[in-house]
């Protein structure tokens, strides 16, 4: 009862023994493997089916393999992991459920839309720092074709998409967190509230999610006494080019200058020539960009302290059909060397 709360300010957790990211693994689809970050991923799929009978089974398979790959890198086996925290975009998170069946690790299923990777990192770090686990894996996946046919139109239709639309990436990322080890550490987590800016266009999710990112960002700064200048990099995933501009503008109005050291995973993962319109999205986007490019930069000593903010659009085809707007949520995690 006498325990001191590991909290600072209103909304932020400050870990007492910051959990370590001892390993990550990333797998991406063919299109992502042609983008500017190609060299930072562990594996590029040759095709979108990946030897499976459906895109959903392929999505499940890459999640499973990313977890196994992350463990192999540090010579751990599935039995060494206390909990798996994972979720995806597909109805009833079946891709993660079926991967968890094969992996056999005690499993917490999550749903945070594209914020899921950082929801898992925040919770996973709490389970370790709280003394409930010595090692956990947080993971997520998305697949362009499974999302497209579930959220939008049958892929066969070849519908045109407006320029504000984002491209759900195909990929999977797994992070192994441990109480001890070498690697960057998760020092803070600021958990998001659901924020609704009233946007109703499912082809403009960057604008829908930017206010949620702002809310979490501003609260993180207020709670910790930090500002943009205290981070080498602030990275969202995935507001893409439209939402990124909105966030910079909204932050400016609150007195925070993001123009110097802020980027977005949806912007980083594709080259404009790849014709993805506003950029990437999907649970896996921030997962593979953080797990690959950004952590590589940290390990190389080029970045020492980053703030990652994963944003999720909390819509479903049904909620849109019933006239609901698209609220967003954003979870922030500070990672430091």
Q: How far is the CB of 192 from a copy of itself (least distance, A)?
A: 6
Q: How far is the CB of 148 from a copy of itself (least distance, A)?
A: 14
- The mark string for 85-124 relative to a copy of itself (x by CB under 8 A, - otherwise) is --x-xxxxxx--xx-xx--xxxxxxxxxx-----x---x-
Per the CB < 8 A criterion, the answer to whether 300 and 185 are in contact is no
Q: How far is the CB of 220 from a copy of itself (least distance, A)?
A: 12
Per the CB < 8 A criterion, the answer to whether 233 and 261 are in contact is yes
Of 191, 247, 267, 333, the one binding a copy of itself by CB under 8 A: 191
Per the CB < 8 A criterion, the answer to whether 20 and 183 are in contact is yes
The footprint of a copy of itself on residues 143-182 (CB under 8 A) is 179-180
The footprint of a copy of itself on residues 194-253 (CB under 8 A) is 194-196
In sequence order, which residues have a C-beta less than 8 Å from that of residue 234 and are 6 or more positions away? 217, 228, 258, 261, 262, 263, 306, 307, 309
Candidates 243-251, 289-297, 298-306, 318-326 — which segment interacts with a copy of itself by CB under 8 A?
Answer: 318-326
Of 192, 282, 292, 308, the one binding a copy of itself by CB under 8 A: 192
Q: Per the omega criterion (within 30 degrees of 0), is the bond before 177 cis?
A: no
Q: In the complex with a copy of itself, which residue's Cβ is closer, 86 or 294?
A: 86
Q: In the complex with a copy of itself, which residue's Cβ is closer, 178 or 269?
A: 178
Cα atoms found within 13 Å of the Cα of residue 188, Cβ hemisphere only: 25
Q: Residue count at the site for a copy of itself (CB under 8 A)? A: 65
Q: Does 49 bind a copy of itself (CB under 8 A)?
A: no
β-strands 20-28, 43-44 pairing? parallel
The footprint of a copy of itself on residues 66-85 (CB under 8 A) is 82-83
Q: How far is the CB of 20 from a copy of itself (least distance, A)?
A: 10
Q: Measured between alpha carbons, how far is 145 from 67 in angstroms, rounded to an integer? A: 22
Q: Measured between alpha carbons, how far is 218 from 259 in angstroms, rounded to an integer? A: 15
Q: Measured between alpha carbons, how far is 69 from 84 in angstroms, rounded to an integer? A: 14
In sequence order, which residues have a C-beta less than 8 Å from that of residue 62 and are 6 or more positions away? 27, 45, 50, 141, 143, 170, 171, 172
Chain residues binding a copy of itself by CB under 8 A are 1, 3-7, 11, 13, 16-17, 53-54, 56-57, 82-83, 87, 89-94, 97-98, 100-101, 104-113, 119, 123, 126-127, 129-134, 179-180, 191-196, 314-319, 322, 324, 327, 329
């Amino acid at each position: 009862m006498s325990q001191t709360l590991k909290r600072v300010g209103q909304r932020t957790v400050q870990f007492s023994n910051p959990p370590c990211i001892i390993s990550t693994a990333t797998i991406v689809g063919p299109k992502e493997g042609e983008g500017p970050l190609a060299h930072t991923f562990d594996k590029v799929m040759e095709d979108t089916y990946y030897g499976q009978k459906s895109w959903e089974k392929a999505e499940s398979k890459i999640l499973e393999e990313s977890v196994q790959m992350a463990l192999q890198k540090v010579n751990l086996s599935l039995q060494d992991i206390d909990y798996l925290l994972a979720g995806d975009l597909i109805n009833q998170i079946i891709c993660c459920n079926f991967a968890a069946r094969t992996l056999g690790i005690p499993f917490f299923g999550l749903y945070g839309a594209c914020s899921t990777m950082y929801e898992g990192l925040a919770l996973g770090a709490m389970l370790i720092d709280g003394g409930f686990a010595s090692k956990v894996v947080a993971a997520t996946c998305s697949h362009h074709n499974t999302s497209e046919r579930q959220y939008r139109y049958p892929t066969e239709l070849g519908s045109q998409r407006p320029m504000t639309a984002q491209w759900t990436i195909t990929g999977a990322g797994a992070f192994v967190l441990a109480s001890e080890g070498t690697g960057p550490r998760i020092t803070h987590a600021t958990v998001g509230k659901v924020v609704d800016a009233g946007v109703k266009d499912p082809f403009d999710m960057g604008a829908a999610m930017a206010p949620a990112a702002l809310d979490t960002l501003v609260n993180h700064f207020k709670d910790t006494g930090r500002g943009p200048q205290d981070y080498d990099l602030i990275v969202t995933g995935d507001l893409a080019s439209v939402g990124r501009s909105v966030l910079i503008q909204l932050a400016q109005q609150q007195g925070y200058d993001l123009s110097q050291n802020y980027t977005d995973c949806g912007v980083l993962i594709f080259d404009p020539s790849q014709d993805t319109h506003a950029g990437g999205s999907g649970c896996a986007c921030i997962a593979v960009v953080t797990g690959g490019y950004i952590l590589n930069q940290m390990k190389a000593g080029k970045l020492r302290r980053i703030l990652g903010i994963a944003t999720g659009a909390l819509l479903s085809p049904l909620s849109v059909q019933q006239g609901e707007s698209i609220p967003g949520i954003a979870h922030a995690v500070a990672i430091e060397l």
